[in-house]
């Protein structure tokens, strides 16, 4: 945690070296001539009006962007299957981008030291499932840490005209053309320290070791397709996993106005879970986000649906509705509601192992923000949640367990002019 704190101070000092950082900056996105704020993780889109996070510089016509956050969190999950833990969530993204005639070249790197600040067994989070700590036992009612390397990607885009462009993206690791932007980058989810329990129905492929994507942008439409490694990251969070390129996906994205972004996507994911190597998943997703920005404030709401069709296995639906509003860079109010069918909440010899249970969760949180170190925005926050399970498993979960997280949040952010 100390390393991350000093890293944020170093970036703040770098940011102060140039107060005219917007002069001459390229103001178009990585894959076309649309606004930069439209770019999200991988090749996904957000509403173009989304306020750009991070710190930006443009020396010698290069665009340099640094984005990141650090959260120190105390987590208390209620009920018999809950628990408590103090840990840190964190992420830093570094991007360089430059135009060469009609082409744009970009490199993007995203890292996290959550393998150290959270640990392999994750943090308590009721109703969460997916991945493993030790390669033997699945993580249930816990959220796994992100890998140290979250993205290491290169992009080349050729612009035929203002309305038309063709691009290629390669990441090791990277994110394929599947699902909405990853939750840690959606403004509607950005402030919430709790990972969505629909994560493995919508955007769990945001870290895959080996992905190649090609896409075409026409005005406010984008079509992209990927081949990628289906296996999710293993329990060794500091290394590179072997690339397989055994899965594929396709996505159609539309941004009909600067305030709306929508997508539909489909992917075949081969053997995503290491503990179930014979199970393949066909994932279908749809999502829409609305964003409204004004002065120092921004509001975004996202609705998303995902269907995991497992073979062999069940067809499992998940739905999410989330929202966040930041007011004058002083107050943030955020919320989330989810409903999802899960068949991984119990393992043998439990009689409930393999059964499908429809579960739900609601979150409501608040952050008070304040400046402290230049080019950072600090916040003190609290989020409370209630989990809902069928009557048949209420004895295991203790009825309707209530949980909370209290946290300190530090975000890298450009000073407003």
pLDDT in tens, 315-361: 999 999 999 999 998 999 999 999 999 999 999 999 999 999 999 99
Burial 62-95, CB ≥16 within 10 A → b, else e: ebbbbbbbbbbbebebbbebbbebebbbbbbbbb
The pLDDT, as a whole number, for residue 416 is: 58
Tokens describing residue 327: 């007011």
Outline where DSSP puts E strands in 210-356. Answer: 211-218, 221-228, 247-254, 260-269, 280-294, 297-311, 315-327, 331-342
122 found inside a domain: yes
Q: Domain count of the chain? A: 1
- In angstroms, the CA 273 to CA 279 distance is 8
Domain that holds residue 389: 2-412
Asked if 400 and 385 touch (Cβ cutoff 8 Å), the reply is: no
Asked whether residue 197 is assigned to any structural domain, the reply reads yes
Residue 400 inside a domain? The answer is: yes
Q: Which of 64, 59, 55 has the alpha carbon at shortest distance from 12?
A: 55
Q: Could you read off the pLDDT of 283-310 as tens digits, one per residue? A: 999 999 999 998 889 999 999 999 999 9
The yes-or-no verdict on residue 417 having pLDDT over 60 is no
The per-residue pLDDT for range 16-28, each reduced to its tens digit, is: 444 444 434 457 8
350 three-class SS: coil
Rounded to whole angstroms, the Cα distance separating 305 from 317 reads 7
| Structural domain contains residue 417 | no
Q: What is the CATH number of the domain that holds 358?
A: 2.40.160.10
Answer yes or no: is 172 within a domain.
yes
| Nearest alpha carbon to residue 317 among 140, 231, 206, 198 | 198
Q: Is the pLDDT of residue 4 over 80?
A: no
Model confidence, pTM: 0.91
Each residue of 249-280: pLDDT tens digit? 999 999 999 999 999 999 999 999 989 999 99
pLDDT for res 415: 67
pLDDT at 9 exceeding the cut of 60:
no
């Amino acid at each position: 945690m100390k390393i991350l704190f000093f890293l944020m101070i170093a970036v703040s000092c770098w940011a102060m070296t140039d107060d005219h950082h917007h002069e001459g900056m390229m103001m178009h996105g990585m894959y076309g001539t649309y606004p930069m704020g439209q770019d999200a993780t991988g090749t996904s889109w957000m509403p173009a009006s989304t306020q750009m996070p991070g710190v930006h510089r443009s020396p010698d016509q290069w665009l340099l962007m640094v984005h990141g956050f650090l959260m120190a969190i105390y987590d208390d999950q209620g009920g018999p299957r809950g628990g408590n833990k103090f840990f840190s969530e964190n992420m830093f993204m570094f991007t360089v981008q430059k135009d060469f005639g009609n082409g744009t070249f970009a490199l993007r790197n995203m890292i996290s030291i959550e393998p150290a600040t959270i640990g392999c067994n994750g943090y308590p989070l009721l109703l969460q499932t997916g991945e493993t700590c030790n390669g033997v036992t699945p993580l249930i009612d816990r959220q796994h840490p992100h890998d140290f390397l979250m993205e290491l990607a290169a992009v080349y885009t050729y612009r035929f005209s203002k309305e038309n462009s063709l691009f290629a993206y390669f990441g090791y690791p990277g994110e394929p053309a599947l699902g909405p932007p990853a939750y840690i980058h959606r403004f509607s989810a950005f402030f919430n320290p709790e990972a969505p329990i629909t994560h493995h129905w919508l955007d769990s492929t945001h870290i895959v070791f080996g992905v190649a994507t090609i896409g075409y942008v026409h005005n406010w439409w984008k079509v992209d397709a990927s081949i990628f490694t289906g296996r999710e990251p293993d329990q060794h969070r500091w290394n590179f996993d072997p690339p397989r390129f055994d899965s594929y996906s396709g996505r159609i994205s539309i941004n009909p106005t600067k305030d709306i972004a929508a997508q539909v996507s489909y992917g075949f994911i081969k053997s995503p879970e290491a503990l179930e190597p014979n199970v393949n998943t066909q994932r279908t997703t749809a999502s829409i986000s609305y964003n409204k920005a004004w002065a120092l404030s921004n509001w975004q709401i996202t609705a998303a649906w995902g269907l995991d069709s497992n073979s062999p296995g069940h067809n499992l639906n998940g739905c999410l509705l989330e929202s966040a509003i930041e007011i004058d860079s002083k107050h943030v109010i955020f919320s989330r509601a989810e409903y999802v069918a899960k068949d991984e909440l119990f393992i043998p010899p439990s009689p409930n192992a393999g059964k499908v249970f429809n579960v739900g969760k609601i979150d409501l949180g608040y952050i008070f923000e304040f400046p402290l170190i230049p080019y950072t925005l600090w916040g003190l926050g609290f989020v409370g949640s209630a989990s809902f399970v069928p009557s048949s498993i209420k004895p295991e979960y203790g009825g309707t367990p209530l949980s909370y997280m209290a946290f300190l949040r530090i975000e890298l952010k450009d000073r407003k002019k």
